[in-house]
């Protein structure tokens, strides 16, 4: 559980829940803005601490791992997090080569030509031109920067990849390519996937299992196709309806009084 | 409310822009953001400009609204008529600054409303900028407007500041605020891209209902062709700075004359995508082909829907 504030202003962002992610998981977390899905993903990678309850990695509490240098390195090596806002997640004054090489040096102790040999195949996979490595984040389009954010995580070869709204800002024609790549990569390399998004179709495509959040609580979870075909919670039903229904009149078409 | 403009013949469209070109920067470093765009919007018509990032759709909308910066941007047009008057006279003339009679709704209601002013005072500013009204009248108009967008406790909302409202309420406030100046054209730039599916549809429902009620025309800028085609009359498709297609929203598949339009409709993930092994994508080769076709089209080569369909099949094979 994660709560913010105290007393009357106390707001529970994530209600108590149990969740397990293994290297064979592909879990989609959907919900509207404010439903707690981003807070949940930040808790999972140790960027935020639960008010109650624990997050563990291979049995070790994440809070403890964060306290030691090696623990932190193990955590980052195992779980990689790709944030929604790629503009603020890159240092604007450093080249992309620097950005992608840093996790390799810090987490895998690879430098120079060996590091380069790790980076180039990942760039090819993401269809990124290697000449872009010498550019700065501001010189790329949003779609290219998003793919570089993925590249920076994939070079670490994590066992779990956690993506927070990674395709929402991308154009539909680019979304397809990134989603195909994420799904193929995780299947081929046995990487566990946590995919957080407000876009249900994209999430349903990459994830085998869905978890639906509403106001901080998990209201529905199950195999993707089952949730799509036989939703049980009113919120899930209304969300699915929104994709299926056409326009409707919200306000009566009369002159205001 | 807007009175229907009866002084002009009905055949005169509300907006008619011919050969609008926008260039950022100058000389060799300049970027041609919009290349000779011609656009008309009828009175009461709902039009969407769709395209991907960098296609020039937002730039075109900002140029129409007269909101592009005056420095560092070179905007030219052959003619620019709005609401029965020539806003721009003569060829290669700079487009207007803040075209009167237009209002704009932005993507992010949180950053476009004034964070420190109450909702009531933001309405009063706009209302008093348009015509002479007393504070009391402004207050009562504000309550009416808030009620008309479905905010039922309007008396309370006028006293609140933006941070005290939910995201959905802020969007409604912003739409009411844009319409209370009684614009003839409402321009909405990506009004739904930060919202989930059910909120997106609520906002589109509201934009359509409210503009129908006031008689204003609506221009929506969006990357979601599937959402737009449910709500507008015509869709304008932009690709790499050019308008490549203008189709009736209910006949996109039948009437599209550029393969990119068809590709756009096929790329949007749907709930059925969960059953697919791969999502459709646009290859670099397909994009190069689309550019070649756009160039031909710009040179005046006639296009047919059948050709567009055949070209799309060829590049996706």
Task: List the single residue in A with minimal CA-CA distance to B55.
Answer: A171
Four-point Cα dihedral B79, B80, B81, B83, nearest 10? 180
What tokens does A241 get? 């309806």
The confidence score (pLDDT) of residue B39 equals: 95
Q: Which of B176, B249, B246 is nearest to B207 (CA)?
A: B176
Element (H, E) at B24: strand B15-24
pLDDT class of A162 with cuts at 50, 70, 90: very high
A248 contacts in chain B (CB < 8 Å): 201, 205
Question: What is the reported pTM?
Answer: 0.81
The confidence score (pLDDT) of residue A256 equals: 38
Q: Which of A63-72, A205-214, B233-242 has the lowest mean pLDDT?
A: A63-72
Per-residue pLDDT tens over the stretch B162-212? 988 877 788 889 999 999 989 999 999 988 877 777 788 888 999 999 999
In percent, the amount of chain B with pLDDT more than 90 equals: 50
The confidence score (pLDDT) of residue A246 equals: 65
Count how many pairs of residues, chain A against chain B, have C-beta atoms within 8 Å. 132
- A239/B196 CB distance under 8 A: yes
- B271/A33 CB distance under 8 A: no
Higher pLDDT, A31 or B185: B185
Measured between CB atoms, does A228 come within 8 Å of chain B? yes
Per-residue pLDDT tens over the stretch A90-99? 999 999 999 9
Please check the confidence at residue B72 and state whether its pLDDT lies above 70.
yes
A171 contacts in chain B (CB < 8 Å): 52-53, 223
- B196/A32 CB distance under 8 A: yes
- B202/A250 CB distance under 8 A: yes
User: Using an 8 Å Cβ cutoff, are B262 and B256 in contact?
Assistant: yes
Element (H, E) at B231: none
Question: Quick one: average pLDDT of B75-99?
Answer: 74
> What's chain B's average pLDDT?
87
Please check the confidence at residue B251 and state whether its pLDDT lies above 70.
yes
The confidence score (pLDDT) of residue A153 equals: 95
Task: List the single residue in B with minimal CA-CA distance to A223.
Answer: B274
Nearest CB to A243 within list B193, B271, B279: B271
Nearest CB to A242 within list B166, B197, B269: B197
User: Using an 8 Å Cβ cutoff, are A29 and A36 in contact?
Assistant: no
pLDDT class of A198 with cuts at 50, 70, 90: confident
The confidence score (pLDDT) of residue B202 equals: 85
User: Using an 8 Å Cβ cutoff, are B244 and B51 in contact?
Assistant: no
Q: Which of B184, B190, B248, B173 is nearest to B218 (CA)?
A: B184
Ordered strands of the A26-30 beta sheet: A79-82, A160-164, A192-197, A26-30, A209-214, A217-223
User: Using an 8 Å Cβ cutoff, are B48 and B252 in contact?
Assistant: no
- B205/A255 CB distance under 8 A: no
**Which residues of chain A from 113 to 172 reach within 8 Å of chain B, CB to CB?**
141-143, 168-169, 171-172
Angle formed by the axes of helices A96-108 and A69-78, to 10°? 120
Higher pLDDT, B278 or A103: A103
Nearest CB to A172 within list B194, B212, B223: B223
Q: Give the side-chain half-sphere CA count within 13 A for A229.
A: 7
DSSP state for residue B2 in the 8-state scheme: P
The confidence score (pLDDT) of residue A257 equals: 37
The confidence score (pLDDT) of residue A230 equals: 94
Nearest CB to B281 within list A176, A238, A251: A176
Per-residue pLDDT tens over the stretch A99-115? 999 999 999 999 889 99
Q: Which residues contact A257 (CB under 8 A, 6 or more apart)?
A: B144, B147
Please, where are the H alpha helices in A20-95?
37-44, 62-67, 69-78
A28 contacts in chain B (CB < 8 Å): none
Question: Quick one: average pLDDT of B288-305?
Answer: 91
Task: List the single residue in A with minimal CA-CA distance to B269.
Answer: A201
DSSP state for residue B94 in the 8-state scheme: P
B19 to chain A nearest CA, in Å?
Answer: 26
SS3 A80: strand
3-state secondary structure chain A: CEEECCHHHCEEEECCCCCCCCCCCEEEEECCCCCCHHHHHHHHCCCCCCCCCCCEECCEEHHHHHHCHHHHHHHHHHEEEECCCCCCCCCCCCCHHHHHHHHHHHHHCCCHHHHHHHHHHHHHHCCCCHHHHHCCHHHCCHHHHHHHHHHHHHCCCCCEEEEECCCCCCCHHHHHHHHHHHHHHHHHHCCEEEEEECCHHHHHHHCCEEEEEECCEEEEEEEHHHHHHCCCCHHHHHHHHHHHCCCCCCCCCCCCC
Angle formed by the axes of helices B284-298 and B305-316, to 10°? 160
A177 to chain B nearest CA, in Å?
Answer: 6
Which of the listed ranges A38-47, A162-171, B239-248 does the model predict with the highest average pLDDT?
Answer: B239-248
Measured between CB atoms, does A251 come within 8 Å of chain B? yes
The confidence score (pLDDT) of residue A35 equals: 82
Optimal mutation site among A26, A166, A174, A205, interface B, most CBs of chain B within 10 A: A205
The confidence score (pLDDT) of residue B292 equals: 93
- B273/A253 CB distance under 8 A: no
Please check the confidence at residue B70 and state whether its pLDDT lies above 90.
no
Higher pLDDT, B3 or B302: B302
Q: Please state, in angstroms and rounded to a whole number, the distance separating the CA atoms of residues B57 and B51.
A: 6
- B273/A204 CB distance under 8 A: yes
CA triple B43-B48-B203, angle to 5 deg: 95
CA triple A155-B267-A146, angle to 5 deg: 30
The confidence score (pLDDT) of residue B177 equals: 93
A238 contacts in chain B (CB < 8 Å): 198
A18 to chain B nearest CA, in Å?
Answer: 25
- B198/A228 CB distance under 8 A: no
The confidence score (pLDDT) of residue A253 equals: 41
Task: List the single residue in B with minimal CA-CA distance to A174.
Answer: B281
ipTM above 0.95, yes or no: no
Optimal mutation site among B198, B205, B264, B265, interface A, most CBs of chain A within 10 A: B198
User: Using an 8 Å Cβ cutoff, are A207 and A176 in contact?
Assistant: no
Angle formed by the axes of helices B167-179 and B119-130, to 10°? 10
């Amino acid at each position: 559980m994660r709560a913010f504030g105290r007393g009357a202003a106390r707001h529970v962002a994530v209600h108590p829940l149990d969740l397990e992610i293994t290297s064979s998981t592909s879990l989609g977390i959907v919900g509207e803005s404010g439903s707690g899905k981003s807070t949940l993903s930040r808790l999972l990678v140790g960027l935020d601490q639960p008010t109650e309850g624990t997050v563990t990695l291979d049995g070790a509490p994440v809070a403890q791992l964060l306290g030691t240098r090696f623990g932190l390195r193990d955590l980052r090596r195992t779980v990689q997090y790709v944030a929604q806002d790629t503009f603020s997640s890159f240092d604007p004054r450093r080249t992309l080569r620097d950005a992608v090489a840093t996790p390799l040096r810090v987490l895998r102790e690879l430098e120079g030509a060996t590091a380069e040999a790790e980076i180039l195949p990942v760039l090819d996979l993401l269809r990124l031109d290697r000449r872009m490595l010498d550019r700065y984040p501001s010189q790329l389009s949003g779609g290219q920067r998003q793919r570089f954010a993925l590249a920076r995580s994939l070079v670490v070869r994590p066992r779990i990849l956690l993506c927070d709204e990674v395709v929402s800002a991308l154009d539909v024609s680019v979304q397809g390519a990134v989603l195909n790549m994420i799904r193929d990569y995780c299947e081929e390399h046995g990487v566990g996937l946590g995919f957080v998004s407000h876009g249900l179709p994209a999430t349903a495509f990459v994830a085998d299992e869905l978890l639906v959040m509403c106001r901080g609580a998990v209201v529905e979870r199950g195999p993707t196709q089952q949730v799509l075909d036989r939703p049980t919670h009113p919120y899930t039903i209304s969300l699915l309806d929104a994709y299926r229904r056409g326009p409707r009149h919200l306000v009566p078409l009369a002159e205001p009084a | 409310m807007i009175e229907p403009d009866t002084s002009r013949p009905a055949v005169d469209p509300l907006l008619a822009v011919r050969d609008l070109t926008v260039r950022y920067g100058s000389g060799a470093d300049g970027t041609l953001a919009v290349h000779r765009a011609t656009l008309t919007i009828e009175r009461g018509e709902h039009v969407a400009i769709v395209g991907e990032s960098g296609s020039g759709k937002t730039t075109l909308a900002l140029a129409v609204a007269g909101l592009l910066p005056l420095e560092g941007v070179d905007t030219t047009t052959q003619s620019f008529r709005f609401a029965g008057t020539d806003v721009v006279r003569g060829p290669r003339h700079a487009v207007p600054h803040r075209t009167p009679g237009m209002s704009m709704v932005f993507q992010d209601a949180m950053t476009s409303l004034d964070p420190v002013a109450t909702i009531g005072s933001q309405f009063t500013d706009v209302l008093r900028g348009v015509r002479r009204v007393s504070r009391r009248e402004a207050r009562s108009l504000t309550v009416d407007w808030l009620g008309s967008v479905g905010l039922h406790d309007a008396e309370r909302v006028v006293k609140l500041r933006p941070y005290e409202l939910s995201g959905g309420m802020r969007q409604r406030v912003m739409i009411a605020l844009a319409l209370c100046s009684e614009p003839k054209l409402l321009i909405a730039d990506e009004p739904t891209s930060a919202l989930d599916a059910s909120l997106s549809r609520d906002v589109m429902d509201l934009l359509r209902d409210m503009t129908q009620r006031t008689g204003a025309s609506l221009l929506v800028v969006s990357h979601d062709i599937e959402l737009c085609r449910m709500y507008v009359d015509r869709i304008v498709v932009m690709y790499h700075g050019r308008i490549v297609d203008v189709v009736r929203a209910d006949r996109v598949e039948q009437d599209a004359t550029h393969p990119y339009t068809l590709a756009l409709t096929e790329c949007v993930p749907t709930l059925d995508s969960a059953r697919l092994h791969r999502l459709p994508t646009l290859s670099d080769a397909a994009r190069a082909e689309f550019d070649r076709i756009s160039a031909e089209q710009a040179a005046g080569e006639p296009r047919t829907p059948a050709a567009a369909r055949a070209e799309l099949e060829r590049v996706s094979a």
